[in-house]
Amino acid sequence: MTPSGTQRAEVSRLWPSGVAGIELYNAQLYRHAFAKHMHEAYTIGFTHLGVGGFFYRGGHHYAQPGSFKLIHPGEVHTGQVQAEAGWGFRNLYISVPKMQQILAQLDWPGPELPYFAIALQTSTDALGQAMFSRLFVALSQPTPQLERDSLLLELMAHLIDRYGDRQRRWQWPEPTSSAIAQVQAYLKTHYADQISIDTLARLVGFSPFYLIRSFRQQVGLPPHSYQRHWQLVQAKRSLHSDQPLADLAIAHGFCDQSHLNRAFKKTFGVTPGQYRQGNLIQDASR
């Protein structure tokens, strides 16, 4: 709360960059908390103001000013404000195919992706901050392709050199049992359908309770949250069309548009309408 007792306005924006496979997110938050979720892309975030906190890989971490947070695709995490000053940060979301292209340009050995041993470093990274800021600006406005490409490679080389674990390679997290993998595949295929826990349990011959417990242990989310993840992923992709939001919500398994709005905001930090508007603005500037 501000001294006058009024709440400070939160600002957030999620939009596609000028480079295929990269999205940008910019936020100044004071109250917002992100629910448990995951992304299909690498999250490369930099905190420039205040403090954020998030649960990741079984522990709670803090994003301090001047530090990066590096989160792999498919890894469950949260996020919330942890300081009176709020939490100001920017994220790059880099898709796996785009990351593979970057690594090939960096002469990265082998087909495996880089592994970042921890979510973030608490020490200030002034050099990385300068690289990140230049790249974020270049991706946010019309910039010569050669400049964008050069800044992107420069930043990724720095992050891998400073934060990468060269003894390990990252792979997409997979469940340890074929039964849970089968349930995952079913939920992805039927993401917009009404599905009972009994249906899933019969699919693999588990009791409902054992299935929920095993799924949560191996995936990081219970089955209903995993289904919701795919509803949101597919709805987000559909926002690049002109389908009315109310129809889009129903088509992707939500009760109505307000249900989609709440879930989308909780995960991505913006509403579906704001995300669509960001895409329209970006398309108009090209």
For the stretch 92-135, pLDDT in tens is 999 999 999 999 999 887 677 888 866 555 567 889 999 999 99
* Cβ proximity of 32 and 80 under 8 Å: yes
User: Which residues in 111-190 belong to E strands, given as ranges?
Assistant: 113-116, 164-170
Give 114's strand partners: 169
What amino acid occupies position 235? A
d(CA 124, CA 121): 8
Q: Kind and range of the H or E element at 77?
A: strand 77-81
How high is the pLDDT of residue 168? 72
How high is the pLDDT of residue 279? 67
How high is the pLDDT of residue 285? 44
| Sequential pLDDT tens for the chain (286 residues) | 444 456 799 999 999 998 999 999 999 999 999 999 999 999 999 999 999 999 988 888 888 898 899 999 999 999 999 999 999 999 999 999 999 999 999 988 767 788 886 655 556 788 999 999 999 999 999 999 999 999 999 999 999 988 888 777 777 778 899 999 999 999 999 999 999 999 999 999 999 999 999 999 999 999 999 999 999 999 999 999 999 999 999 999 999 999 999 999 999 999 999 999 876 544 444 4
Q: Which among 16, 13, 95, 36 has a CA at the least distance from the CA of 267?
A: 36
Q: Give 4's contacts (C-beta < 8 A, 6+ positions apart).
A: none
For the stretch 153-178, pLDDT in tens is 999 999 998 888 877 777 777 889 99
Q: Going from the N-terminus, what domains does the chain have, and what CATH number goes with each? A: 11-170 (2.60.120.280), 178-285 (1.10.10.60)
For the stretch 137-146, pLDDT in tens is 999 999 999 9
Which tokens go with 71?
């989160």
- What's the start-to-end Cα distance of the chain, in Å? 40
How high is the pLDDT of residue 280? 52
How high is the pLDDT of residue 94? 97
